Amino acid sequence: MSDTIEDDVAGDQSTPQSTGVPTSPTQSTSTTAVKDSVIIYFKNAGSAPALKQKKFKLQSTINFQAVIDNLRKQLKMKPNEPLFLFVNQVFQPSPDECLGELFKCFSYNDQLVINYSNAPAWG
């Protein structure tokens, strides 16, 4: 995407699951803490173009508007072309929503699934 990407995640490899056991004295066992980076999996819907790479590792502190802007760049879409993003095929997050909070509430298998379309599809 852009400078907000820490690392690209290639293929459908899953990240190792945490055991919940601290590996250092400063690591917490709390599952409510927001991670530094999150894995986002983009799925196209309808006639929206597909991405060659569907998984990205993004900073958890960015807002959802940055995700929209970066996806728009990846798809080479003009600012006036419609683009709709849905979390888990259910709702459109507010552009000022923090990506880490969305991940904490709606992630599945350690990734946040974001469906995108060029027409309203769900919600």
Please provide the CATH number assigned to the domain covering 5-11+34-117: 3.10.20.90
**Which pLDDT score is estimated for 47?**
87
The whole model's pTM is what?
A: 0.70
Tens of pLDDT, residues 51-62: 999 999 999 999
Enumerate the domain spans of the chain.
5-11+34-117
CB–CB of 1/99 below 8 Å? no
Which stretches within 51-97 are classed as H helix? Answer: 64-74
CA gap 9, 123 in Å, rounded = 28
What does the pLDDT look like over 61-99, one tens digit per residue?
999 999 999 999 999 999 899 999 999 988 999 999 999
The C-alpha atoms of residue 93 and residue 65 are separated, in whole angstroms, by 9
